[in-house]
Homo-oligomer: A and B are copies of this chain.
């Protein structure tokens, strides 16, 4: 669940982030967002840790350029899979699993349980 206790008010940088609720998202957009192995890996890694504990900087092991990674985060925000907020210099992440599960039952489960060996 969400943990806001130790989080300060949003900075200007966070306020400029676009967030979309899963209820506004089409199945087309959700499938397109998840039809990318790097985005599914981000989702899986976020599903494995508590909300708001993974800063964006901790995804630098993924085999893509930093600008590409930013694009992937943006795509995930725009289909209601990712919530981001800044805390000091760090941008923290939350997988919006309960909301997304309610909108698309079962879909996120397939991604989280995907075998790593099937990745490209």
Q: Which A residues fall within an 8 A CB radius of B? A: 26-28, 31-32, 34-35, 37, 40, 104-107, 109-111, 114, 118-120
Contacts and interface: CB of A to CB of B under 8 A. Distances in A.
A32 B34 CA distance: 9
A90 B38 CA distance: 42
Contact of A106 (B28, B35, B105, B120): B105
A27 B105 contact: no
B27 A110 contact: yes
A119 B26 CA distance: 8
Most buried by B among A32, A35, A40, A119: A35
Nearest to A109: B106
Contacts of A106: 105-107, 109-110
Contacts of A34: 31
Contacts of A40: 27
A110 B27 CA distance: 8
24 contacts: A26-B118, A27-B40, A27-B110, A27-B111, A27-B114, A27-B118, A28-B37, A28-B118, A28-B119, A28-B120, A31-B31, A31-B34, A31-B35, A32-B35, A35-B35, A104-B110, A105-B106, A105-B109, A105-B110, A106-B106, A106-B109, A106-B110, A107-B107, A107-B110
